[in-house]
Structure 1
Amino acid sequence: MRTFLTPSAIAVKIVLLSTITSSTVMLSGQALADDAPDAIDELEVITITNQRHHGLEGMKGYAQGHTSAPDLADWLTSVPGANINSNGPITGIAQYRGLYGDRVAASLDGHPVIGAGPNAMDTPLSYSTPLIVDSMTVYRGIAPVSAGINTLGGAVEVKMRKAETMNSENTALSGDIQAGYRSNNSAKTLSAVTNIAKGDVAVLLYGNSQTGDSMESGDGVEISPTDFDKVQFGGDIRYSKGDNEVGLSYHYTDTNDSGTPALPMDIEYIESHRITLDGAFKLSDWQGEWQIGYIDADHGMTNFLMRENTDPTKFRRNNATAETSDFKLELTQSFDFGELAFGIDGYFASHDSVITNPNNMMFKVVNFNSVEDNRYGVFTQWQNKFDQTNVQLGVRLKRAEANAGEVSSSMAMMMNPMGSLAGGLQDDFNNANRKVSDNNVDIALNTQTQLSTNVSFSAGLGIKNRAPSYQERYLWTPMESTGGLADGHTYIGDINLKSETAYQVDLGLTYQDDKLMLAPHIFYQSIDDYIQGTPMGMADMSAKMLANMMSGDTNPLKFSNVDAELYGVDLNGYYDISDQIELSTIISYVQGERRDIDDNLYRIAPLNGQINLRYSSDDWMVKTSLVMAAKQNDVSSTNNEQKTSGYGVVNIDAQYFVNNDLAIRLGVDNILDKNYQNHLGGYNRVKGTETPVMSRLPSEGVSAWAEVTYSF
C-alpha cells in the first residue's frame, strides 16, 4: 500500500489552502452544521430541510429545498463542497468535492439505490419525490464507515417521511397537498401526502405528478429536449410500540419522455417498484435496527423519439433492466468507554442491457448480459467524548464480487472489416475470465474539539476504497454507457481493473457567537488507482478502429487505473445584521489533478458559491441570492474537455405563511435573464437545435415560480 502522508506534503497543501482561504472573497451559503459549538456529540453534517415545515422559526442559516423541484439533486446546491452533474432536468448526479457517481454513497432511508440505466439516467436521488422527503443530510468531510459501502467520495442520506403513529384511540388524519408552477418551461407539480393513525398503527400514502416542457436560455434559445414527465406514488404502513417498530413501504416510479440532451439518448420510460421492510428493537441493552429492500427497474431509452434523427439505419433503442436486493443490521450500545456499534450490510444487483433498431429486426447488441455486482461487508464504529473532544473511529471490511454472461452483436455476423472487428472483441470478452472479486478495508477517524466557548476544531483522516463499477469492468465494445460521464467519447472497460484507494485529510474550524457563524474546511486526498478513461493503446487497436467506424470517435478511451489527487476549501456561514436581516454565505473550491501525468480531472466544478440576504418577519420572508461561479480553465485534455466562462445569477424568492395550514412560496430565478453555461451541464448531443452539437449546453433563463401548500 502506497502512502502520501509525508510531513512536507501535508505542510505544503495546508499552507496553499490557507492562502486561498484568506485571499478569497467569501461567496454565499445557506447550510449549517446541525449542532451549536457547545454540542459536539455528533459529527458535523449539513442538513437540508423540506420547505413543508411550518413557520420560519429555526431557519437560521439552514438550507431548504423546493418541494416542487423536479430533481431532488437540486437541493445539493446549498451545501458547501457539493454540486450536480446535470445531463437533463431529472438526471442530477451528486458531486462532492470533485468526486461523483458511484464514489458518492447516496441512500434513501439507508437503502443504496442502484439504477437500471448504464448511463445514469435514473440516478439514486431520482427515486424519491421532494414532498415525501423529510431532510437530506450530507456528511461534511470524511464520511463515517457506517454511512455506506462506497463512501470514498462522501455520503448523502435522504430521510423520507414515514407513517407516524399517534397512540390515540381515535383515528387521526394529517397530511399535505401542494401545487407548483414554473414559467420558463411551464412545469407543473401536484403532490399529496396523508397520514392515517390509530393506536399503534399508522399508514402513509402519497402521490406526485411532475411535468415540464423544454427550457429556454437567457437569450431565448430552446434547450431541447428538456421536457420531463414523472409520476410517483406509494405508501408506508408502520407498527410502533415501546422500543419495537416494524414498517413496510412500497414506492413506484413511472417516468416517460424525458430529455437528456447531454447524453446520446433520451428517456423513453423508467418503471420501478421498490419495496422495503424495516424495524427497530431492543435486545437487552443493545438498540437494534434492521432493513431489507428490493428494487425492480425497467428502463428504455432512444435516440429518435425526442430528438432529430434523419437516418433510420442509426435508430437505437436501449432496454436496460436491473434487480437489486439489499440488507442492513446494526446494533448499538453505550459503555463506560463510549458508544459501540456493529453492523453488517450489502446489496446484490443484476443488470442487463440490449440495444436494438426498430427499423432493422436483425440489429442487436447485447451490451451487458446477466451482470452481477454484489457488495457486502461488516463494520464496527466507536465513539466517545473526552473532556471537550469527541472522537469517532470506524473500520469496515468489505468485499465486491462481479461476473457477467456472454455477450453478442449482430455486427459480428457481417462479412466486412467492421464485422471482423466486432466479432474479435466479442470473442475476446466471452473467452475471458469474467468472474472477479475485491477485498478492501475502509478506515475513518474523525475528531471534534471545543477550543473555547465560540470556537471548535475538527480533524479527520481516512482510507477509503471503491471497487470498479460494472460499466468500468464489462463495457466490451466501444459505447457511451459510462455512468453519465457525458464527455462525448466511446469507452471500453477492463475486467481486471484494481480498486481505487484514497488517503484523505479534512481540517475544519467553526466560530459561532450570537450573531456570526463561520465554518471553513480544507481537505486533501490522494487516490491510487483512480479509474479514468485513457487513450487506447496498441493492445486495443481493434476497439479503436471499430469506434472510429461506428461513431467517428477518433479518441476513444479505455477505463484504466491512474493516480490522482484532489484538494480544496469550502466554507459556510451567516451574520445576523439585525433580528430580521441575515447575510449568509457558502463557497466551494476544488482542484482535481492527475499525479501520473500533467493533466486535470474531468468535470470538476469551478470555484463557486452564493451570497444570500434574507429579511424575515413573524410569518413572511424574502430572500435575494447572488449565485456565482468562476471560469474553469483547469480542464481535462484527456477527455477533450472544454473551458467555461464565469457568471453571476440573481435569484429572489419569498414565503408567506397565511396561517398554520396554508403557505405560499414564490420567486424569480435568474431575474436578469443571464445567458450562461454551467460547467457541469454537459455538451449538446442533439442535432437540429440552435445549440451546435458538442457545444456547451446553455442554462435556464429567467423563470418565475410559485408553490402553494395546504397542511391538515
Structure 2
Amino acid sequence: MKITRIALLCAIIPVSLLAQETTTKQDTLESKLIELNTVIVTGESNTDSVLTAIKNDLIKKVVQPKNVADLFNNFNGFSLIKRGNYAIDPSFRGSQYEQLNIQFDGGTKAMHACPNRMDPITTHVVPEDIERIEVIKGPYTVRYGATFGGIVNLVTQGPEKLGNGFHGNVSSGYETNGNSLVSSLKLHQITNTYDITANVGYRDFGNYEDGDGTEIPSSFRSLDYGLRLGYNFGDNQRLQAHWRQSFGRDVLHAGLPMDTEEDNSSILSLDYKLLGLSGFVKEVNAKAYYTYVDHIMANTRRPSFMMTEALSTIDATTAGGKIELKMKPTEKWILYGGLDAMLIARDGGRTRVVKRNMMGNFLPEPIVFQDKIWQDSYVNDFGLFAENKYAITDRTMLTAGFRYDLVVSDIQDPEADFQELYDNLGQREEHNVSATASIKQKVSDNAILEVAYGRGVRSGNMIERYINHFSVGQDPFEYVGNPNLDAEVNNQFEIGLKGHKRFEKGIDVLRYGISGYYAIYKNYIVAVVDPTLNRKFMPSAQPQEVKRFINIDEAYKTGFEAEAEIDFATYFNFSTALSYVYAKNKDLNESLPLTPPLTTRFGLGFKKERLWASLNYTITSRQDEIAISFREQETAGYEVLDARFGFEPIKDLNIGLAVLNVFDETYNNHLNFSFVNQTDFTRVPINDPGRNFSAFIQYAF
C-alpha cells in the first residue's frame, strides 16, 4: 500500500531546530513525556533542510514487508541488494553495507554474524515497529558515528505522540504469491511518570513464483518481540530501556551457497536525556547498547551436500554508546560535542565433512575439516566529535563539524595460511579525520537552497580485513581479506533546492526537490584477482582465480535525485521521482560494482476521509555500465505497476488490498544476486516476484 507522501525534505541533520531554538526556550513536548534523540532529521516547516529525506506512514501503506529493507522499496535514491526474500540490504546512491551508517533510534546498531550477510541489520527488528526512516544523504554530519556514504536512521514507534492510558494495535496480512502470512500485536501503557510498550510479530513466507511461474527458493519463518520501559524523573529528565529479540528459522537463500538453519539476535539499549538546563550546557544525551547474534547455516538442502556436508556456527557482538552535550554559547549559536564508540567482535567456524573424492566416488571414511571463518577478530571505533550551527542571518544557516576516530583492530586466532600471507599480523591502530560544512539559504518564503561538503572516512570492515578464502561476493570467486587496507575517503560535494508553491482555482500545492552530488573517492576498497593466490576449497572448481581486497587510487561517483508532487481536485495527488548514479573506477577503467540503473517513478493517489487508493508505476532502465572485474552482467530494463486500495469501515479499523506487479512482469534488478548451488538453476540473477495479491488488516485501540 502506498506511502502517501515521501517528503521532499531536509539536509544534513535537524538544522531547522536551530532556527526554532534561537527564538524560543521551550525544549519539552506539551505532554509529560520527553522525546529522546531518536529523530535526527526534522521535517516540519519551511526551515527544513534540503539534503536529507524522510519516509513515514510506513506500516499503513506497505503491504507485508518481509523485513525492514522492504520499506526502502519505493524510497527515491534507494535500491535493494537481494539474495532471497530474507537477506535484503538497502543500497543508497550505489553505497552499501558498511558504507552506509545504518542504525536504530539515533545510534543503536546490530552487525551481521554471517560473512554472506544472511542476517543484515534489517532482519533484527520487525517492520511494524518502524515509524519512519530518516536519511542523511552523505557525510554531512559528524554526530552519529563515522559516516562514508550517508546515514540511515530507523526510528521505532514511541509513546510520545500517544496520550495517557492503554493503547494498542493488532494487524495481520496475507499474500497469495508464496502463501505468506504476517501478524503482529503492539501494546502501550502510558502515564505521566512511566510508559511500557510491548510488541510481538510472526512471519511465515513461502517460496514465491516469478512472472514465468518459476518457483524461487526463498521461504522463511521469523518470530520477533520487544519490550520498552521508560521512566520520567521529571519534566526534563528521562531514562529508557529497550529489549528486543528476533528468531529466524529455515531461511532459504537462493543467491547464497548455504541456507540459514537458525538466526537469533538480542538487542539491549539504554537512553538517557536531561534537558532544560540553565547554564552553558543546555542538554545531556546518552546512549548505550549491546547486541548479540548467533547464526547457524548449512548446505543440507543443496546439491553440494552429496559431496560435502557443511555446517557453520558463528556469532557476532556489537556494543557501543554515546554521550553528547548540547551547548549554546550565544542566542545564534548551538554547539554539539561528545564521544561515541562502536565495538564489533566476531568468531566461529565451519565444519566440513567430505564424503566423496573429486571423481565423485565415496571415500572409505569421510574426512572432517575445521575452517576458521572470522578468526576471532574485532574492530573497535572510538570517536570524538564537535558540530556547530550558527544562524548568520534570519535566512542563512551555517553548519560545520569535525570528527576524529581511533580504529583499533586485531585478529586473535588466524589460520596458518592467513598468517603466512601476512607476517605482520597484530593489533593495528588507524587515525581517521572527518569534517563537514554547509550553508543553507532561504531564497524565498517557499524555497530553500543548500550547498554542502563532507569528508567521510571508513576503515575496512571485517570481511575486507580478515575473510580467508570464502565466497562472500556476488560472483563465485574465493575472497581473501587484507588487514593492511587504508581507510577509504569520500570527499562529497552537493547542492540541493526544495520548496513548495500554492496555486489558486482548484490546484492546492506543488512540492518539489532536486539535489545533485559529486563524490571523489580515495583509497576505495575493492576486490581484484590476485595471480599469486590459489583457490583453497574445491581446488578444481571454477573460477580458479582468487580475489584479494585492495585500495584503488582513483574513483568517483556522481548523480542526482529529483522529486515533485502536486495535489489537485481536492482528493487527488500526482507524484514523480527520478534517481540516477554514475560511478567510475578510474584505476580499472570500469564502473564501480553494484551501481543501480536509472529509476523513474510515477504515482497517482486518491484520499478522502476513510478511503484511499493509489497506482505506482516504476520504470527501471537497462544497466550496461558494469564492473567487469566483479563479473557483473548487463541487465535489461523493466516496468512494474502496483495498485493499492484501502478503507476504514469503522473508526480505527484499516483494511488494505493490493495487486503487486499487475502485469505479471518477469524481471530482476541489477543488484540481485545470482542463483548459487541450487538444483535446476544455473548461475543467473534471481527474478523478483510475479503478480501478487495481498490483503492487510489493522485495528488500533
TM-score by length of 1: 0.86
Partner of 2:558: 567
How much does 1:454 deviate? 3.1
Q: Deviations over 1:58-102 (max 9, x none)?
A: xxxxxx544x31111112233222221111212221211111000
Partner of 1:387: 394
Instruction: Specify which of 107, 111, 130 is matched with residue 108 of structure 2.
Output: 111
Partner of 2:542: 552
In terms of fraction of residues, the more helix-rich structure is 1
Aligned-partner SS, 2:628: coil
Rounded to whole Å, the distance in 1 between the matches of 2:485 and 2:305 is: 39
Partner of 2:465: 473
Instruction: Specify which of 41, 47, 55 is matched with residue 54 of structure 2.
Output: 47
Query: Are 2:394 and 1:402 equivalent residues in the alignment?
Result: no
Query: Are 2:524 and 1:533 equivalent residues in the alignment?
Result: no
After superposition, residues 259-270 of structure 1 pair within 5 angstroms as 259-270=252-263
Rounded to whole Å, the distance in 1 between the matches of 2:475 and 2:605 is: 39
Bigger drift between 511-520 and 271-280 goes to 511-520
After superposition, residues 62-73 of structure 1 pair within 5 angstroms as 65-66=62-63, 68-73=64-69
Rounded to whole Å, the distance in 1 between the matches of 2:109 and 2:212 is: 40
> Are 1:547 and 1:556, in contact at CA under 8 Å, matched by a contact in 2?
no
After superposition, residues 134-533 of structure 1 pair within 5 angstroms as 134-149=131-146, 151-163=147-159, 172-224=165-217, 226-240=218-232, 241-282=234-275, 283-285=277-279, 286-305=282-301, 307-312=302-307, 314-334=308-328, 335-357=330-352, 362-385=368-391, 386-408=393-415, 425-429=417-421, 431-476=423-468, 478-480=469-471, 482=472, 485-514=473-502, 515-533=509-527
Partner of 1:647: 638
How much does 1:407 deviate? 2.9
How much does 1:376 deviate? 1.5
> Are 1:166 and 1:200, in contact at CA under 8 Å, matched by a contact in 2?
no
Rounded to whole Å, the distance in 2 between the matches of 1:471 and 1:87 is: 18
How much does 1:683 deviate? 0.7
Letter matched to residue 557 of structure 1? K
Partner of 1:101: 97
Bigger drift between 644-653 and 43-52 goes to 43-52
How much does 1:239 deviate? 0.4
- Seen in structure 2, the aligned counterparts of structure 1 residues 638 and 184 have a Cα distance that, compared at 3 Å, is same
- Seen in structure 2, the aligned counterparts of structure 1 residues 230 and 212 have a Cα distance that, compared at 3 Å, is same
Unmatched runs of 5 consecutive residues or more in structure 1:
1-27, 54-63, 409-422
> Are 2:138 and 2:454, in contact at CA under 8 Å, matched by a contact in 1?
no
Letter matched to residue 558 of structure 1? R
How much does 1:333 deviate? 2.7
How much does 1:492 deviate? 0.5
Aligned-partner SS, 1:590: strand
Partner of 2:14: none
Instruction: Specify which of 574, 587, 594 is matched with residue 583 of structure 1.
Output: 574
Rounded to whole Å, the distance in 1 between the matches of 2:576 and 2:367 is: 57
Bigger drift between 528-537 and 448-457 goes to 448-457
Rounded to whole Å, the distance in 1 between the matches of 2:377 and 2:145 is: 22
Aligned-partner SS, 1:679: coil
Rounded to whole Å, the distance in 2 between the matches of 1:293 and 1:38 is: 33
- Seen in structure 2, the aligned counterparts of structure 1 residues 90 and 284 have a Cα distance that, compared at 3 Å, is farther
Letter matched to residue 504 of structure 1? Q
Aligned-partner SS, 1:220: coil
Q: Deviations over 1:523-577 (max 9, x none)?
A: 110111100011103xxx2x32436716422332110101311111111111223
How much does 1:377 deviate? 0.2
Partner of 1:708: 697
How much does 1:309 deviate? 3.4
Bigger drift between 383-392 and 294-303 goes to 383-392
Aligned-partner SS, 1:473: helix
Rounded to whole Å, the distance in 2 between the matches of 1:80 and 1:430 is: 43
Partner of 2:584: 593
TM-score by length of 2: 0.88
Bigger drift between 151-160 and 82-91 goes to 82-91
How much does 1:215 deviate? 0.9
- Seen in structure 2, the aligned counterparts of structure 1 residues 402 and 260 have a Cα distance that, compared at 3 Å, is same
Partner of 2:648: 657
Rounded to whole Å, the distance in 2 between the matches of 1:566 and 1:430 is: 32
- Seen in structure 2, the aligned counterparts of structure 1 residues 36 and 279 have a Cα distance that, compared at 3 Å, is closer
Letter matched to residue 603 of structure 2? N
Q: Deviations over 1:403-439 (max 9, x none)?
A: 011234xxxxxxxxxxxxxx6x244158432321211
Aligned-partner SS, 1:202: strand
Rounded to whole Å, the distance in 2 between the matches of 1:677 and 1:29 is: 26
Q: Deviations over 1:567-610 (max 9, x none)?
A: 11111111223211111011110011102231111111100121
> Are 2:140 and 2:437, in contact at CA under 8 Å, matched by a contact in 1?
no
Partner of 2:8: 32
Aligned-partner SS, 1:40: coil
Letter matched to residue 209 of structure 2? E
Letter matched to residue 700 of structure 2? S
Q: Deviations over 1:138-185 (max 9, x none)?
A: 123443111322x211110011123559896xxx21011000111101
How much does 1:220 deviate? 0.2
Q: Deviations over 1:176-211 (max 9, x none)?
A: 100011110111111000001234011111100001
Aligned-partner SS, 1:74: helix
Letter matched to residue 155 of structure 1? I
Rounded to whole Å, the distance in 1 between the matches of 2:697 and 2:62 is: 14
- Seen in structure 2, the aligned counterparts of structure 1 residues 199 and 36 have a Cα distance that, compared at 3 Å, is closer
Partner of 2:25: none
> Are 1:37 and 1:454, in contact at CA under 8 Å, matched by a contact in 2?
no
Query: Are 2:77 and 1:81 equivalent residues in the alignment?
Result: yes
User: When the two structures are aligned, how many residues end up with a matched partner?
Assistant: 642
Rounded to whole Å, the distance in 2 between the matches of 1:394 and 1:316 is: 48
Q: Deviations over 1:271-329 (max 9, x none)?
A: 11111111111354421111111111100111223x343524x2211111011211111
Rounded to whole Å, the distance in 1 between the matches of 2:480 and 2:673 is: 21
> Are 1:37 and 1:510, in contact at CA under 8 Å, matched by a contact in 2?
no
Rounded to whole Å, the distance in 1 between the matches of 2:303 and 2:159 is: 46
How much does 1:521 deviate? 1.1
Letter matched to residue 154 of structure 1? G
Partner of 1:20: none
Rounded to whole Å, the distance in 2 between the matches of 1:104 and 1:594 is: 19
Partner of 1:610: 601
> Are 1:50 and 1:133, in contact at CA under 8 Å, matched by a contact in 2?
no
> Are 1:352 and 1:369, in contact at CA under 8 Å, matched by a contact in 2?
yes
- Seen in structure 2, the aligned counterparts of structure 1 residues 148 and 190 have a Cα distance that, compared at 3 Å, is same
Partner of 1:7: none
- Seen in structure 2, the aligned counterparts of structure 1 residues 709 and 298 have a Cα distance that, compared at 3 Å, is same
- Seen in structure 2, the aligned counterparts of structure 1 residues 362 and 38 have a Cα distance that, compared at 3 Å, is closer
Aligned-partner SS, 1:276: strand
What is the alpha-carbon root mean square deviation over aligned residues? 2.1
> Are 1:163 and 1:237, in contact at CA under 8 Å, matched by a contact in 2?
no
